[in-house]
Amino acid sequence: MSLSLLNKLGKYLSPIIVEEIEEGGEIYFDKNEISLLLSHLKSEFEFLVLLDICAEDLLGKKNAEERQSHRYEIVYHLLNLEEHTRLRVRLPTDGVEPILSVREVFLNGDWYEQEIWDMYGIKFSDQSDLRVLNHQSFIGFPLRKDFINESNGSTQEPYDFFDEQESVQVVERGLRSIVNIGPVHPITRGSVRSIFELDGEKIVRNKFEIGYTHKAIEKIFEEKTWTTGILLAEQLSDQSPFLSSLAYVNAVEKLYDLEIPDRAMALRMVFSELSRIVDHLNCIGELSLSSGNETILFKCLDLRERIYELFEKATGSRTKANINIIGGLSLDLPIGWIADCIIHIDYIEDNLLMLDKLLTRSKVWMARTNVCKITSHMALEYGLSGPSLRASGINYDLRKASPYYFYNDVDFEIPLGVNGHCYDRYLVRIEEIRQSLKIIVQVLDNLPFGDCVATHPLTELFHAKSPQQFSTAEDFVKNKITPPSKRIYSSIEAANGELGFYLISDGSSKPWRVKVRAPSFTHIQVLAQVLPGLILDDALVGFSSLNITPGELDR
Amino acid sequence: MILKKYLYSPRNMFTGVISSSLTIVKSLIRRKYGFEKSITLNYPIEQYHYSDRLMGMPELVLNEKGKSLCTSCDLCVQICPTKCLELKGEVGKEPKLFSLSLSDCIFCGHCEVVCPDKAITMGNNHMLTGHKEEVLRLDFSEWKKLSSRQ
Amino acid sequence: MRNDFILDEYCLTTKASNFMEWVKRWAQSRSLWPILVGSGSSANEFYSLFGSRYDIERLGIDGIKYSPAQADLLVIAGPVTKKIFPILKNVYDQMTEPKWVIALGSEAIGGGLFQNHTLMDNWNEFIPVDVNIPGSPPSPESIIQGILFIRERIEKNAKPKSDIKEVRY
């Protein structure tokens, strides 16, 4: 954090101290006026974006600090776009009295608070009793440390949302009907149930129900060791699992304070750009499928197959990336991979030109996708990130703002849209594929030599030279080398936005709490304000342009 | 970089029709008179050869006499995330009972990394489909039979 | 998987009695229409079968239909949670006879890594499965092999024998 901002905050908040940490600052606040504090931080110190709200249960934690005499703690993560710093506000609570809600200050705080009620049982002011991720007749709060699994029934009817609302002005003429577009549908990809209230063909109100593929990944993280967590982090995305596991491994390496060699950083950049291309191609294919154009989908599937071939030769699996370990990469490139890579990159670039000629500037495609306008003010209020934010005109990309690995030394540009329609999101994604190809070629030209794995007690099994002994293998299984007791938040630029992990460790071999900051969970809240007023077909086009992934949404 | 202004103005119908049809005709001519073969893999007749690093079914490594190199140290059972391996035996000798459950295995490869005797590897067999009457838990003798065949 | 598995020993199979019966079974097995429930990396591999590389249209499958009354093959991909099970049962009840079921991926067969309070582990008692395809995700060649196994079951009209118990793991 810059010195002037730190001094200003310290003067405003005295006698509360602002601690300086690696990503910015941290405040420990134990009074009851949290929404007043956050609205002052937003208006005078320009912390405009609320990234996440997370909760933690402190029952039975070792190495606890002395000033904790309560059971729960709630953490608010804020972001300042101009100075690229983050701020954490920690609020202790007992869980008995309801906490003042922040949903009037930051519009996207509603769903985060509802999820904390679902998982922990902590009430906020003026909150309904609906469950977000578990089913509606569930008994118990899963993420508490003393949760016992009773038999919760499974045959219950899907809940009907519009019955309990107060009567909104019923339309005088025309037909009012309720349409349910369920989880088994090609556009919602198997996880979202959307309920529309229509007046003829126009949408009056809409609601979403999620949680159909909820597997409680955050609870399983606490039962397995730090190294097995990489397998769980891959499940967060079905198109680009390399980027999701890279976000987790990056966070754990910061916790252990480990430095990886140069060759591992360069190879990780190459694989993550290839993964990003797969995700963008899939999104363009689905966008054209939802507007009735199937030719483009088949072309995108063909281009995706080429990248799967490259992944299979290097890592052994077509889609899952089991090459990331704590400390680098477990396998080096095989002989002949770079030549294959350049042949496939040429093929992709030729066919991308063909896609461009068929779709861009054509009258039918523009008329179909000039819907669902998201202004830049709305984008900042709801906390968007990634290509959806850049299509509304705001220039923020984590690879340029706080660069990691070698993104400082590579020459690439960030495309910005003008209007915020679906057409802009399509243009931004096609241009990002071209910039990713440019990055890959530059890195492969100057690949550094050396080892792929760092020399550290954690990675002794992966060096080819050390003899295999029973004691090193046993240390790996039981994870005897434990990290220090710390809290850390780290994020990377995934294909859809900012994917972050908030890790809390208490010095043992298993994590105490892992929270995933998923971009899809934030993006779906914008649709409550954008969709009313459109016709039903345009709403489906707008939904599929935001790239809502079921793995991140439901975790 | 802000996207250029000409990308937002629609082209008129005549230019659009000619440009799109030229693109499609060009790719058709390239396919018929060029040197590109068809990219379809006719599956039951042709096969695709995966590389050596493919994560297939875990297999036991056998020596010349047909015995496995396992010494019952129990490390692969402890690290398996889904608990699909089961082992019973004395440390230092060949196990009496060692079975693998194919319905639980997620093909992650941790058992190969951890084994100190290099007795288990991820093989190349990825064709694992079965009817519902086929049993998906392999005991020791069946597993040894499937490991030797490639 | 095992070359010595003969279907006739494990279930009741009948040969076609006349020519029209043979034509009916031949036509049913060469034109299946699937419907897909669930999401995950296994469902992603099922979508990539429709590209130009593993062209599944030459086996007779035109495209995924999303209406249960027009489909006759149910493909379950991803773990079956307690929240989606009523919808899955609804879809299975609305399909018309005859119908067949494939369980795709290790997560659908046994739950995979996610053995906790959200998983429904006895869904197999309500919906009978015909072909299991393990793998995480399974390779596209093994999914095509699974469809060829369903063809074999339709041509021989395989029905379960009453005295053999189903062994699941």
Which of the four pLDDT bands, split at 50, 70 and 90, describes residue C145?
very high
Which residues from chain B sit within 8 angstroms of residue C2, using beta carbons?
A: 130, 134, 146
8 Å CB contact of A362 and B2: no
Q: What's residue A231's pLDDT? A: 93
8 Å CB contact of B53 and A313: yes
How many separate domains does chain A show? Answer: 2
Classify strands B97-101 and B85-88 as parallel, antiparallel or unpaired: antiparallel
Q: Which residues contact A439 (CB under 8 A, 6 or more apart)?
A: A269, A273, A410, A412
Flag whether A235 is in a domain.
yes
User: Is domain C32-153 given the CATH code 3.40.50.12280 in the classification?
Assistant: yes
Q: Does A231 touch chain C (CB under 8 A)?
A: yes
For helices A337-359 and B13-33, angle between their N-to-C axes, nearest 10 degrees: 150
Classify strands C11-12 and C159-160 as parallel, antiparallel or unpaired: antiparallel
Q: What's residue A414's pLDDT? A: 93
* Overall average pLDDT of the A508-513 stretch: 91
- Name which of A73, A95, A93 is nearest A26 in CA terms: A73
Q: What's residue A168's pLDDT? A: 46
Lowest-confidence region among A20-34, A372-386, C46-60: A20-34
Task: State which residue of chain A sits closest to B115, comparing Cα positions.
Answer: A473
By the 8 A CB rule, do B13 and A363 touch? yes
Task: State which residue of chain C sits closest to B126, comparing Cα positions.
Answer: C139
Q: Does C138 touch chain B (CB under 8 A)?
A: yes
Distance from CA of A76 to the nearest CA of C (A): 28
Q: Which whole-number Å values give the CA distances from C7 to A333, A443, C132, C144, C145, in the listed order?
A: 44, 54, 15, 18, 15
Lowest-confidence region among A171-175, A196-200, A457-461, B19-23: A171-175
- Name which of A438, A133, A448 is nearest A262 in CA terms: A448
Q: What's residue A165's pLDDT? A: 45
Q: How many helices (H) and strands (E) does chain B have?
A: 4, 6
Which residues from chain C sit within 8 angstroms of residue B104, using beta carbons?
A: 106, 110-112, 169
Which residues are bridge partners to A85 per DSSP?
A: A80
Q: What's residue C134's pLDDT? A: 92
Q: Does A186 touch chain C (CB under 8 A)?
A: yes
Q: Does C148 touch chain B (CB under 8 A)?
A: yes
Distance from CA of A299 to the nearest CA of C (A): 8
Buried-exposed string B36-58: b where 16+ CB fall within 10 A, e elsewhere: eeeeebebeeeeeebeebbbbbb
Q: Which of C132, C147, C168 to mutate to test the interface with B (most CBs of B within 10 A)?
A: C132
| C-alpha torsion sign, points A184, A185, A188, A192 | negative
Kindly state the tokens that stand for C88: 């899955």
* Overall average pLDDT of the A503-525 stretch: 92
CATH level 2 (architecture), domain B58-148: 2-Layer Sandwich (3.30)
Q: What's residue A172's pLDDT? A: 47
Residue C169 has pLDDT above 90, yes or no: no
Q: How many CB atoms are located within 10 Å of the residue A274 CB?
A: 22
Which residues from chain A sit within 8 angstroms of residue C116, using beta carbons?
A: 149, 215-216, 219-220
Q: Which of B47, B103, B125 to mutate to test the interface with C (most CBs of C within 10 A)?
A: B103
Task: State which residue of chain B sits closest to C153, comparing Cα positions.
Answer: B131
Considering CB atoms only, which of B10, B110, B122 is closest to A363? Answer: B10
Considering CB atoms only, which of A331, A417, A461 is closest to B3? Answer: A417
Q: Which residues contact B80 (CB under 8 A, 6 or more apart)?
A: B110, B111
Considering CB atoms only, which of C66, C81, C139 is closest to A215? Answer: C81
Mean pLDDT estimate for chain C: 88
Per DSSP, the residues of A465-482 read: SSPP-HHHHHHHHHT-S-
8 Å CB contact of B53 and A470: no
Q: Which residues contact B84 (CB under 8 A, 6 or more apart)?
A: B100, B101, B102, B104, B105
Considering CB atoms only, which of A152, A219, A319 is closest to C44? Answer: A319
* Overall average pLDDT of the A289-304 stretch: 90
Q: Are residues A293 and A429 in the same domain?
A: yes
Strands (E), A479-526: 487-493, 498-504, 513-517
By the 8 A CB rule, do A235 and A248 touch? no
Which residues from chain A sit within 8 angstroms of residue B8, using beta carbons?
A: 418
Q: What's residue C122's pLDDT? A: 85
8 Å CB contact of B104 and C111: yes
Distance from CA of B24 to the nearest CA of A (A): 9
Residue A135 has pLDDT above 60, yes or no: yes
By the 8 A CB rule, do A213 and C38 touch? yes
8 Å CB contact of B134 and C5: yes
Q: Which whole-number Å values give the CA distances from A425 to A209, A286, A370, A429, A475, in the listed order?
A: 25, 13, 10, 6, 48
Q: Does C40 touch chain A (CB under 8 A)?
A: yes
Q: Does C54 touch chain B (CB under 8 A)?
A: yes
Q: Which strand (E) or helix (H) includes residue A19?
A: strand A18-21
* Overall average pLDDT of the C110-114 stretch: 86
8 Å CB contact of A134 and C118: yes
Residue A173 has pLDDT above 80, yes or no: no
Residue A312 has pLDDT above 80, yes or no: yes
Distance from CA of B3 to the nearest CA of A (A): 6
Q: What pLDDT, in 10s, does the model give residues A414-439?
A: 999 998 999 999 999 999 999 999 99
Q: What's residue A116's pLDDT? A: 93
Cα–Cα distance, B132 to B126 (Å, whole number): 18
Q: What's residue A152's pLDDT? A: 61
In B, what residues contact A, Cβ < 8 A? 1-3, 6-11, 13, 16, 19-20, 23, 27, 39, 50-51, 53-55, 73, 75, 78-79, 81, 106-110, 113-116, 118, 122
Q: Which of A159, A185, A244, A301 to mutate to test the interface with C (most CBs of C within 10 A)?
A: A301
Q: Which residue in the block uniquely carries the two structure tokens 């509360």?
A: A16
Interface of C with A in 60-79 (CB under 8 A): 64, 66, 78-79
DSSP B2: B
Kindly state the tokens that stand for A421: 């329609």
- Name which of C68, C58, C70 is nearest C88 in CA terms: C68
Q: What's residue B150's pLDDT? A: 43
8 Å CB contact of B106 and C113: yes
Q: What's residue A164's pLDDT? A: 45
Task: State which residue of chain A sits closest to C77, comparing Cα positions.
Answer: A190
Task: State which residue of chain B sits closest to A361, comparing Cα positions.
Answer: B10
Kindly state the tokens that stand for C114: 């996610």
Domain that holds residue A268: 217-554
Distance from CA of C76 to the nearest CA of A (A): 11
- Among the candidates A62, A85, A120, a domain finishes at A120
Mean pLDDT estimate for chain A: 88
Q: What pLDDT, in 10s, does the model give residues A452-467?
A: 999 888 888 887 655 5
Print pLDDT tens along chain B (150 aa): 888 888 888 888 898 889 888 988 888 888 777 766 778 888 888 888 899 899 989 999 988 888 888 888 888 999 999 999 999 988 888 889 999 999 899 999 899 988 888 889 998 888 889 898 888 888 888 888 888 654
Distance from CA of A35 to the nearest CA of B (A): 37
Classify strands A49-57 and A24-28 as parallel, antiparallel or unpaired: unpaired
8 Å CB contact of A301 and C52: yes
Considering CB atoms only, which of B40, B102, B106 is closest to C55? Answer: B40
Q: What's residue B35's pLDDT? A: 65
Considering CB atoms only, which of C48, C83, C91 is closest to A184? Answer: C91
8 Å CB contact of C134 and B103: yes
Task: State which residue of chain A sits closest to B13, comparing Cα positions.
Answer: A363
Which residues are bridge partners to A21 per DSSP?
A: A24
A513 by Cβ neighbours in 10 Å (0-12 / 13-18 / 19+) ranks as buried
Q: What ipTM goes with this model?
A: 0.91
Cα–Cα distance, B27 to A196 (Å, whole number): 43
Q: Could you tell me which residue, A382 or A66, shows the higher pLDDT?
A: A382
- Name which of B66, B42, B37 is nearest B140 in CA terms: B66
Which of the four pLDDT bands, split at 50, 70 and 90, describes residue C105?
very high
Cα–Cα distance, A26 to A65 (Å, whole number): 16
Flag whether A141 is in a domain.
no
8 Å CB contact of B75 and A477: yes
Distance from CA of B49 to the nearest CA of A (A): 11
**Terminal alpha carbon distance of chain C:** 15
**Chains with at least 3 CB pairs less than 8 angstroms from chain B:** A, C
* Overall average pLDDT of the A213-233 stretch: 92
Boundaries of every domain in chain B: 58-148
- Name which of A379, A375, A374, A373 is nearest A49 in CA terms: A379
Strand order in the sheet with C73-77: B130-131, C131-133, C100-104, C73-77, C34-37
Distance from CA of B4 to the nearest CA of C (A): 33
Cα–Cα distance, A389 to A371 (Å, whole number): 16
Q: Which of C47, C118, C139 to mutate to test the interface with A (most CBs of A within 10 A)?
A: C118
Rg (CA), chain B: 27
Classify strands C73-77 and C100-104 as parallel, antiparallel or unpaired: parallel
Q: What's residue B136's pLDDT? A: 87
Strands (E), B58-135: 58-60, 85-88, 97-101, 120-122, 130-131
- Name which of A46, A79, A108, A87 is nearest A396 in CA terms: A79
Cα–Cα distance, A131 to A137 (Å, whole number): 9
